[in-house]
Structure 1
Amino acid sequence: MPEAAPAIFFQYRTNVSSGDRLVRTIISLTTSALLDFTDFSIYHELGSDPANAGRSAKKGLIVALAAFGSRDRLELHVALKNFQSSEILLMQNFSICRKEEVLEQGDIELASSCIVEAILNTMKKSLEKLDISDCATTFANRARNLVFRFDKAALLSADRYFQAAYELAPKPQYLAWRAFGRTIAQFQHRTPELPGDNVSVDGLFHEAISEAPDSATVLGIGAHIEYLRGGSPRNSLSLAKRAVKYDPLNSVNLAILSNTELILGDLKSSRASSLAALQLTGGSEARAFTEFFCCMSAAALGEYEDATNHAEAALLLRPSFVAPLRYLITLHKQAGRTASYDRSVSRMRVLETGFTPAQMLDSNYPVTTLRRLRLFDALVT
């Protein structure tokens, strides 16, 4: 019999009514985001004794929240604890601005996003302490992190972990993630195929969307696939907007939304969405991905120095990520930075055998968004 999903127990205390609203909102947002990713067992409103709310659960995390108020802000203290031993595994503090009892939504979403990432990272790093065996949740968590390393070996491992997770718990989101990994492989390595099977991107996604039409994960990945595989940009925008509405904490979906806004000419909204995605990403494994989308949105506005900074940041985090390197080559060419251009081309040849900048002019070369930008003209001259 498959190992049960690990449990998450929320408990909280506060000394002000706005603190109660804050904590309940954060619990609601984090629960929605976590359950859209994988199958946790989640228990709410536990007071000081989580065991009373989840007697059948034996393993997992306690997420203890405490909110205390002053005139213009609330201080939120978060502790992640081992359910079995009560050992504190992580502590975080957040400051939430408020004006006339109205809390700043951006602060709430940022804190909630950080808590989601903290839970997933703690689950990943403390499996032994938490006495959690391999299950669909642990497989999916490993896979998600591997996707954003971008190299072939990591993408193949991610696909296998998501496949294993699906076999244990057939959650449609795992199919969507497999489609996403193949899409990254297509643009990163110029091939959507992964060794060992003949599963298609379209097949995976269509099965996922038929089973979970209101999943933020599935909708966001669908928006990405719709655009990159030559579908309707407006359909892509509609899917991305729905995804962000259903889960405002998902930085990957916000990044995808920024790209759909870009291709439809709403460049200011695209820039705002990409920067919001970057803020929500924090230090998670997806940071290089959202930095790259910030690079694209800045380049679309002609903010080439900012675009260069984002591309370099993405490459610092993930040196094998070729998408920002393609932009960096073009940005250096546009700015006349010959030495930097030559170094970037040499670096690209290590990652992509036989690469020449002229290849980027080929209509089949994977620079779908760059080809739409004025910056692309730098490659022609």
Structure 2
Amino acid sequence: MRISTQARPDTDPSGEFVRRTLEAQILQSLQELMSVEICDPDTQADRALPEDIELEVENLIAGNSSTLRVMWKRKLGQHRLWSNTRSLEVDCGPVFQGAGFQKLAFDSVEALRSQARKIWARPDPQCAADFLCLQAAERVFRMTPGSMLEADRLLARAYEIAPRGLYAAWRGFLRMMQVVEMHPVDFQQTADEATDFARHAMEDEAQNSYVCALAASVLLILEDSPHCSAQIAQDAVAINPANPLAWDALSTAAIYNGQPDKAHSYATRAQRIGGAGVTKPWLDMACCLTSVVTHNYPLAKEYARSSHILCPDFRPPLRYLLALAAHEGDQREGERFYDKLRVQEPNFCFERLVKDRDYPMAAFRKSGLSLDPRFF
């Protein structure tokens, strides 16, 4: 895929800096997620192909807000594929450091990835591999055992076509989820494979923020390495602050490092940036966890309910909704989530949730919340 940029320079130097920063973040994310060639707009003009794409970013300053407009167009014919205009407040620091700015960059990339599947009916091998990875990521966040297996098959095919650390990172991440979600797999073998994939991915694409974010999550959960994970997640955020999974990984590491307020700040930023796409159930659940460790239980319940509604087969929301119902002494509500969780985990018992330190309820344990194991 070839991408060129069409400059609409801002006469104000600070406005032009904001425009160029947004443009750079969009192109950074694209290069991390897809195999794209960034072309000089002048040299490409005489040899444009029908599938070539042009990015146009414009910034208009008005008072205390920055109005940013992003547009994707076909190079030939200038057919508009997608555009979005947003006004961002700049009262509390530089606009380019805000979550709204990073969300616009993220949304712009997701819009092009969605359009790309319609444009390239017969993609080249590398684009085909990228599309397989995109399909796999969508299936990962459906959270079911079947969708995880299907995602792994898609990623294996992608890697055969064009080996990339990104594909290996996703394979490690989904295995970590299989272990945490207690899917019917060999836990030790799956955990070993997950860490192998994560390490290989880091060796291959250490400057890819998505690789770093996915690997950080794997190493934190399966290797119990919160400080190492935090360092890798910090690198991911520094490389690409428009990557919600980077903020999510940093948030989880902060929970394990005893920094609940920072964890919640990072989680809410991740949710604001990427909380409108396929990752929303995952990011909502991350905000539930950080709300638990900051003792905001009503907010934790709201986030857990949202995650559960969007992804009924995702087990962590059920676990925390059950724990929160027990904390409130709501027997009826607790029984409802207990029964749902038993469908997912036939051997589940409430005493295990409360007492078993190997059961995946780390945020609950770190919050210091005390529950009566005889509640059920």
Normalising by structure 2, we get a TM-score of 0.88
Shift of residue 376, structure 1, vs aligned partner: 5.5
Aligned partner of 2:72 in structure 1 is 80
Which deviates more, 250-259 or 16-25? 16-25
Show the 5 A alignment for 1:198-237.
200-237=193-230
Q: 2:32 aligns with which of 36, 42, 53?
A: 36
CA deviation string 1:29-53 (max 9, x = no partner): 1222222223222336x3xx79428
Distance in 2 between the 1:367 and 1:176 partners?
A: 24
Aligned partner of 2:316 in structure 1 is 323
Contact 1:9/1:63 (<8 A) preserved: yes
> Residues 86 and 267 (structure 1 numbering): CA distance in 2 closer, same or farther, change over 3 Å?
same
* Root mean square deviation, CA, Å: 2.7
User: Is 1:13 aligned to residue 8 of structure 2?
Assistant: yes
Contact 1:12/1:23 (<8 A) preserved: no
Shift of residue 127, structure 1, vs aligned partner: 4.2
User: Is 1:309 aligned to residue 305 of structure 2?
Assistant: no
- Counterpart amino acid of 1:22? V
Q: 2:256 aligns with which of 259, 263, 276?
A: 263
- Counterpart amino acid of 2:38? I
Contact 1:97/1:104 (<8 A) preserved: no
Distance in 1 between the 2:93 and 2:180 partners?
A: 47
User: Is 1:343 aligned to residue 333 of structure 2?
Assistant: no
Distance in 1 between the 2:2 and 2:132 partners?
A: 15
User: Is 1:241 aligned to residue 237 of structure 2?
Assistant: no
Distance in 1 between the 2:92 and 2:173 partners?
A: 43
Aligned partner of 2:152 in structure 1 is 159
User: Is 1:26 aligned to residue 22 of structure 2?
Assistant: yes
User: Is 1:375 aligned to residue 369 of structure 2?
Assistant: yes
Contact 2:176/2:191 (<8 A) preserved: no
> Residues 81 and 377 (structure 1 numbering): CA distance in 2 closer, same or farther, change over 3 Å?
same
Question: Identity over aligned residues, as a percent?
Answer: 22
Contact 2:291/2:300 (<8 A) preserved: yes
Where 2:180 maps in the other structure, the secondary structure is: helix
Distance in 2 between the 1:99 and 1:341 partners?
A: 44
Distance in 1 between the 2:330 and 2:197 partners?
A: 43
Shift of residue 96, structure 1, vs aligned partner: 3.1
Which deviates more, 330-339 or 152-161? 152-161
Aligned partner of 1:94 in structure 2 is 86
Distance in 2 between the 1:132 and 1:10 partners?
A: 22
> Residues 253 and 40 (structure 1 numbering): CA distance in 2 closer, same or farther, change over 3 Å?
same
Show the 5 A alignment for 1:62-211.
62-84=54-76, 86-98=78-90, 103-106=95-98, 107-124=100-117, 126-127=118-119, 132=123, 135-191=128-184, 200-211=193-204
Contact 1:8/1:42 (<8 A) preserved: yes
Contact 1:330/1:378 (<8 A) preserved: no
> Residues 145 and 121 (structure 1 numbering): CA distance in 2 closer, same or farther, change over 3 Å?
same
- Counterpart amino acid of 1:33? S
Aligned partner of 1:3 in structure 2 is none
Distance in 1 between the 2:81 and 2:110 partners?
A: 14
Shift of residue 188, structure 1, vs aligned partner: 1.8
> Residues 380 and 210 (structure 1 numbering): CA distance in 2 closer, same or farther, change over 3 Å?
farther
Shift of residue 115, structure 1, vs aligned partner: 1.3
Contact 1:261/1:269 (<8 A) preserved: yes
Structure 1 outlier segments of 4+, above 6 Å: none
Shift of residue 245, structure 1, vs aligned partner: 1.3
Distance in 1 between the 2:139 and 2:145 partners?
A: 10
- Counterpart amino acid of 1:364? D
Contact 1:96/1:104 (<8 A) preserved: no
CA deviation string 1:213-267 (max 9, x = no partner): 3332222222212221142221122121112111111111211211111121111
Where 1:214 maps in the other structure, the secondary structure is: coil
Where 2:269 maps in the other structure, the secondary structure is: helix
Distance in 2 between the 1:86 and 1:165 partners?
A: 31
Where 1:174 maps in the other structure, the secondary structure is: helix
Aligned partner of 2:358 in structure 1 is 364
Distance in 1 between the 2:203 and 2:155 partners?
A: 18
Where 2:306 maps in the other structure, the secondary structure is: helix
Shift of residue 131, structure 1, vs aligned partner: 5.8
Which deviates more, 133-142 or 185-194? 185-194
Where 1:77 maps in the other structure, the secondary structure is: strand
Distance in 1 between the 2:142 and 2:67 partners?
A: 34
Which deviates more, 29-38 or 267-276? 29-38
- Counterpart amino acid of 1:366? P
Distance in 2 between the 1:101 and 1:237 partners?
A: 25
Where 1:96 maps in the other structure, the secondary structure is: strand
CA deviation string 1:289-311 (max 9, x = no partner): 11111000000011100000000
Where 1:353 maps in the other structure, the secondary structure is: coil
Where 1:293 maps in the other structure, the secondary structure is: helix
Q: How many residues end up aligned between the 2 structures?
A: 368
Aligned partner of 1:285 in structure 2 is 278
